[in-house]
Every structure is written in structure tokens, then in C-alpha cells.
Amino acid sequence: MTWETVIGLEIHTQLKTKSKIFSGASTEFGAKANTQACAVDLGFPGVLPVLNKEAVRMALRFGLAVNATINKHSIFARKNYFYPDLPKGYQISQFEIPIVGNGAIDIPLDNGEKKMVGITRAHLEEDAGKSIHDLYDDYTAIDLNRAGTPLLEIVSDPDMSNAKEAVAYAKKIHALVQYIDICDGNMQEGSFRCDANVSVRRAGEGLGTRAEIKNINSFKFLEKAINLEVERQIDILEDGGSVAQETRLYDSIKNETRSMRSKEEANDYRYFPDPDLLPVVIDDELLKEIKDRLPELPTEKKARFIDKLGLSEYDAENLTSQKAMADYYEIIIDKGADVKLSANWVMGELSASLNKNQIDIQDSPISASELFNLISRITDNTISGKIAKDVFRLMWDEKRSVDEIIKDQGLEQMTDVGALESSH
């Protein structure tokens, strides 16, 4: 029996605003519990939410970056459920008319081709607070600092057919939101969170029942969680059972997904338009201004790397896959280094060392201008490419400059004919 997998992702991105979506409380991460939760965030009687302009602009930036329909008239709704970290008893979200409608993004496939993944919608909403279950024996502790933090929830079409594609899509969105500077992309701090809707079907049949997997906080776990869930559903169906439509929690320690029963009875959210908030109207002038100010997008940067720098499709895709890596590479190129040699060093030696030590490129112990110096010493024939790798190691370990290392170790190549002759 051949099984097909159908995956859609819901990605919650925390927007990089200074203040909350409906209040003037700070969104800064890591503050003492409940010191950044004001009367609006706590849902006190008589308070009124007022929408943050910057959150709206950031949502529009995303919409324009994925060529989406912008709803010039969008509505906030109340999503009703009871949970201690949601003081009002409802989350302000968008339901019927989200600010961003249909769009699409291309993802790279393993075979070098690309696939277009549809974006169903992206809507603005407020985050809930945090429940901490292991701080007190007999109580759940609630920190409402996160309550009211602006989120853009990006919902994909069910266009992905395996875990690898889902990861490729998530990485594309992750890179894009950093390119357009609306989200810091920090998955450990929960600024970028994925939920996966997974179902399987026999080849050629209609859609199967889906399960929603929550609590996935890394790309590695996203792949694992989806593969586990696909296996679980196929096992059930092959044994003649049926898959329940439910929310499941991914447990990265036990490497399993399990049912979140508490969410089951709550899936009737009884959405209705929030009477505290008027419709959001976007005028053409604002839209044009945001469009004009949109930074170079990853696809545009990639095209420029291919057309203007003469890089291969593969190199250009790789270098633009993270904004910080593209920035690093461009510093080197702007100083006049050889484009292909620089690409090889950034994607090769540097990336390998960063991966091995689990360091982000923005925290690299070797700065872009230091790597430029090393590459220059290769192109001016001071050292060979092979020696350069040894110098790179020393730069990484000892944080010394290229020229210092070359001098100390006596690594200059003898390329001057006169010097060669006189040494005989």
C-alpha cells in the first residue's frame, strides 16, 4: 500500500515591536515575571485595546514579501477559551478577514528543483502568557509578561508532502521574517513557533483526518515529530483503525507525540467580532510607502548573486538562505574579494566550524573583515589555499589576526624569483 502524506504548517512569529499589540507595556524578553503586564494585558474591567501601528506595518511587510492579497479592511475577533494564562477568557485574533490573504513562497527541494507552497493567510493576534508547571508543587505559576505580545500567525496551504519539505518551508519563512526585520527568529526564546497539521491518505484518495502537533521548537524536532506522526497514523490505518482529529504534543525527550486531551473540549472557540476594536483600514498610500521601503528579499538577493556576481544557483541559494550569512558574505565581497573563492570559504570552512561548535554566524569568532584578509592573502599569493586552512584554524582558536599568524609561523610562500635565486 502506498501512502501519501499531507502537511500544512501554522507558524507563530513574534513581531519585533517595542510595545505590545494592544497596550503600551514592554515586550522585552527575560524580565522578572509579571513586571511587563499592564491592566490591558491582565484583562481588567473597563480597559480598551488600542492597536499598535508597527504591528500592522510588519504584517503588511510580510504580506507584500509573499505577494499576498492585502485585505484593506480586516477585522479583529475574540477567540474564546478558558486557560489561566489567558486572563480575559478570550484571545484577540483575526478570523473572518485576516490582514494578509493568499500568497505563496518557493522552497528548494533536494533534487535541485523548487516547489511553490501556498500561504492561506497571515493574521495578527496577541500571544498568551506562560504557565509554569514545575515551579511550585501544588500550583501552576503564571507569568503574564508575554500576554499581549504581537504575533503574526502564518498559515500554509496543505502543500507539503514530507517532513523535509515542511522543514524547507519553515526555514524559508524563518529566513524571510528576518530579512524583512519583523521577527528575531529566536526559536529557543519562542519567537518563532511551528505547529504541524499532518494527515496521511492512500494514494489517489481524498484527504485523511489530520492531527495537529504542537510544541515544536527546532527544525530538527519538526522533522522528527512529523515522521513520528506519519508512522503512527499509517500504523493505525493499516490495523484497520481510524485517526482521531486531535491536538498532539511533541515530546522531544521521549521522542513521541501524545494526545493533549485538555484541548479537546475547547475546540469550539465561538469567534465573534471584537466590539472593542474597529475594522482596520489600510490605505493605498501606506501600502505604497511600505512597499517602497521593503528591503531586498532573499529571492531578489539570490537573483542578484547569480546575475551580477556570476555565482551558481546552488551557491546563491545557500548563501542567501540566512540573512546573517548573506550579510557576512557581502561584507567580504564589498571589500573586493574574489566572489567564488569567498563563497567557498563562507559555505565551506566557516560554516563547517560554526556548525560544529553550534555558533550562529553573527557570533562568529572570525569576523567578515578578518576572513576577507585571509582570502586576500590567498589571492595575492602570500599563502596557498592549503596553508590558509591551517591559518584559519589558528585564527579560530587563538583569535589572532591573519598577518600576525603568517609572520609568526613563517608561512609566506616564496613567489619572488629574485628571493628564490638568492637563497641558493
Partner 1 sequence: MSLDKKQVKEIAYLARLSIEDVELEQSTSELNNILSLMDDLNEIDTGDVEPMAHPLHMSQRLRDDEVTEENLAEEFQAIAPKIGKSHFLVPTVIE
For the CB of residue 227, give the shortest distance to partner 1 in the complex, in Å: 23
Judged by CB under 8 A, does residue 133 bind partner 1?
yes
Judged by CB under 8 A, does residue 289 bind partner 1?
no
- The region of 15-23, 108-116, 151-159, 366-374 touching partner 1 under the rule CB under 8 A is 15-23
For the CB of residue 406, give the shortest distance to partner 1 in the complex, in Å: 49
Helix (H) or strand (E) holding 281: strand 280-281
Exposure of 385 by Cβ count < 10 A (0-12 exposed, 13-18 middle, 19+ buried)?
A: exposed
By beta-carbon proximity to partner 1, the closer residue of 96 and 189 is 96
- The region of 23-31, 60-68, 98-106, 237-245 touching partner 1 under the rule CB under 8 A is 23-31
Copy the grid coordinates of residue 414. 616564496
For the CB of residue 88, give the shortest distance to partner 1 in the complex, in Å: 13
- The region of 129-137, 151-159, 295-303, 398-406 touching partner 1 under the rule CB under 8 A is 129-137
Query: Distance of CA 394 to CAs 293, 345, 401, Å?
Result: 42, 15, 9
**Cα gap 382→403, rounded to integer Å:** 10
For the CB of residue 221, give the shortest distance to partner 1 in the complex, in Å: 17
- Applying CB under 8 A, among 109, 116, 244, 281 the residue interacting with partner 1 is 281
For the CB of residue 143, give the shortest distance to partner 1 in the complex, in Å: 6
Q: For 68, phi and psi rounded to 5 degrees?
A: -90, 160
By beta-carbon proximity to partner 1, the closer residue of 50 and 207 is 50
Please list the residues that pair with 273 across neighbouring strands: 77
Instruction: Give me the amino acid identity at 352.
Output: A
Judged by CB under 8 A, does residue 42 bind partner 1?
yes
For the CB of residue 251, give the shortest distance to partner 1 in the complex, in Å: 10
By beta-carbon proximity to partner 1, the closer residue of 202 and 288 is 288
The order of strands in the sheet holding 114-126 is: 103-108, 114-126, 150-156, 3-14, 192-202, 211-216, 247-251, 256-259
Q: Binding marks (x or -) toward partner 1, 44..83, rule CB under 8 A? A: ------xxxxxxx------------------x----x-xx
Judged by CB under 8 A, does residue 32 bind partner 1?
yes
**Cα gap 252→229, rounded to integer Å:** 13
- The region of 132-140, 172-180, 366-374, 388-396 touching partner 1 under the rule CB under 8 A is 132-140
Cβ atoms of residues 402 and 377 within 8 Å = yes
Taking the CA atoms of 394, 400, 403 and 409 in sequence, report the sign of the dihedral they define: negative
For the CB of residue 370, give the shortest distance to partner 1 in the complex, in Å: 36
**Cα gap 173→175, rounded to integer Å:** 5
Copy the grid coordinates of residue 124. 495578527
By beta-carbon proximity to partner 1, the closer residue of 204 and 275 is 275
**Cα gap 115→105, rounded to integer Å:** 8
- Applying CB under 8 A, among 3, 4, 10, 26 the residue interacting with partner 1 is 26
Copy the grid coordinates of residue 136. 511550585
For the CB of residue 11, give the shortest distance to partner 1 in the complex, in Å: 21
Angle at 116 between CA 176 and CA 5, to 5 degrees: 110
For the CB of residue 228, give the shortest distance to partner 1 in the complex, in Å: 18
Residues 139-198 that bind partner 1 (CB under 8 A): 139-144
H-helix segments, 180-241: 219-238
Cβ atoms of residues 170 and 9 within 8 Å = yes
For the CB of residue 140, give the shortest distance to partner 1 in the complex, in Å: 5
Residues 207-266 that bind partner 1 (CB under 8 A): 249, 260, 262
- The region of 37-45, 105-113, 151-159, 164-172 touching partner 1 under the rule CB under 8 A is 37-45
By beta-carbon proximity to partner 1, the closer residue of 275 and 410 is 275
Please list the residues that pair with 258 across neighbouring strands: 249
User: What angle in degrees, to the nearest 10, is found between the helix axes of 298-307 and 323-334?
Assistant: 30
Q: Could you tell me how many residues of this chain bind partner 1 (CB under 8 A)?
A: 54
> Closest Cα to residue 246, out of 222, 277, 217, 212?
212
Judged by CB under 8 A, does residue 275 bind partner 1?
yes
H-helix segments, 216-308: 219-238, 284-292, 298-307
- The region of 18-26, 151-159, 333-341, 393-401 touching partner 1 under the rule CB under 8 A is 18-26
**Cα gap 285→297, rounded to integer Å:** 21
User: What angle in degrees, to the nearest 10, is found between the helix axes of 163-179 and 53-65?
Assistant: 130
What does the binding site for partner 1 look like in residue numbers (CB under 8 A)?
17-19, 23-26, 32-39, 42, 50-56, 75, 80, 82-84, 96-97, 131-133, 135-136, 138-144, 249, 260, 262, 268, 270, 273, 275, 277-281
